[in-house]
Amino acid sequence: MIYLVTGGAGFIGANFIHYMFNKFHDEIQIINVDKLTYAANLPNLESISSALIEKSCYIFEQIDICDSENIERIFRTYKPDYVINFAAETHVDRSIISPQVFLKTNVLGTQVLLDASLKYGVRRFHQISTDEVYGSIEEGYFTEQTPLNPRSPYSASKASADLLCQAYYSTYQLPITISRCSNNYGPYQYVEKLIPLVITRLLRKESIPVYGDGLNVRDWLHVRDHCDAIEKIIHRGKDGEVYNIGGNNEWKNIDLIYFLIKKIKSVLAKSTQEEYIYNKLITYVEDRKGHDRRYAIDVSKIKEELHWEAKVFFEEGIQETVTWYLQKEK
């Protein structure tokens, strides 16, 4: 099978490529298409074996998914069976400053990929989305039937891409699936995201900014569990369906930061005095515009239909993540 992975040099995309080769070895071919923006990092994939590269099991192409001519060439040359679209502008703060960039990549780029997938008859086009398309929820959980209510330019662009995928399924019968995941953590994540931001700033003893009162709630999912879910969806999911993926692991932002302080102290065997210094590094800042209060998603559907569940315990996953960033900082 041939898999076209867009955004494969980014955080989740790189982890997915590693996951697929760990599971299927040289029985598959992966074409990684990435524009290599600031959040991408090709060294994330440098551990892929030379044997896989020599066999052309892994091929990298530096291309913008909005570049219809080159995307057409990729489809014509490699004829992928599956397309998994990780390519996206993702950081909410950046979308507030420059919405147009997000609309171009996340909506128009998805449309270019959908057109090529339709023309070349892929078996499955899978869109990587986010729980942020549902908006904010005070209590209870988002299901796949929850109406979309995006509240930032980022989430609006992702919701638009989701609707476009569903339109291609309804109009052209293109076999699509969509997954909406909660906040991911793990190795290879760009440092502007909360967990790597906190870890790296703690290691450097730099100030940690906390939006508003720090009581916003997010559900955290290890990226390896996310990759497992995606693999199950693309091979066994139903055409046209949406699947929520979450860790059932809610944390208030401020509680998570203090947990990370404790974990780093444990990993580094720091003294009580140094822990006090870490706590002093927390700085409350003006809240983000349109900051959603809480995300929480119901994952019953993917558990029942595809027998998936999160397996990485949060404390173990965080320790692994802290250790990874510690080694990276050396």
**Is 131 a residue of the active site?**
yes
Residue type, 274: E
Is 212 in a helix, a strand, or coil? coil
Give the whole-number percent of the chain exceeding pLDDT 90. 76
Residues in CB range of 13: below 8 A, 6 or more apart:
5, 6, 7, 32, 34, 86, 87
CA distance 254 to 250: 12
**Is 211 a residue of the active site?**
no
> Can you tell me the mean pLDDT for 154-174?
97
- Check residue 29 and give its pLDDT: 98
Please tell me the number of Cα atoms within 13 Å of 162 on its side-chain side: 26
- Check residue 271 and give its pLDDT: 45
Active-site position among 64, 89, 131, 162: 131
Active-site position among 82, 134, 154, 169: 154
Please report the sign of the dihedral spanned by the C-alpha atoms of residue 222, residue 224, residue 226, residue 232.
negative
Q: What is the pLDDT confidence band of residue 89, given thresholds at 50, 70 and 90? A: confident
Given a cut of 80, whether residue 218 has pLDDT beyond it is: yes
- Check residue 272 and give its pLDDT: 47
Active-site position among 132, 162, 219, 228: 132
Given a cut of 70, whether residue 174 has pLDDT beyond it is: yes
Is 287 in a helix, a strand, or coil? coil
**Mean of pLDDT over the chain:** 93
**Is 64 a residue of the active site?**
no
Q: What is the pTM of this model?
A: 0.94
Indicate the length of the chain as a whole number.
330
pLDDT digit string, tens, across residues 249-295: 999 999 999 999 888 877 776 544 555 456 678 889 998 888 889 99
pLDDT digit string, tens, across residues 39-88: 889 999 999 989 999 999 999 999 999 999 999 999 999 999 999 999 99
CA distance 330 to 328: 6
- CATH fold of 2-189+221-250+290-312: Rossmann fold (3.40.50)
3 near 32, Cβ under 8 Å?
no
Least confident among 116-120, 178-182, 324-328 = 324-328
CA distance 181 to 206: 30
> Can you tell me the mean pLDDT for 295-316?
96
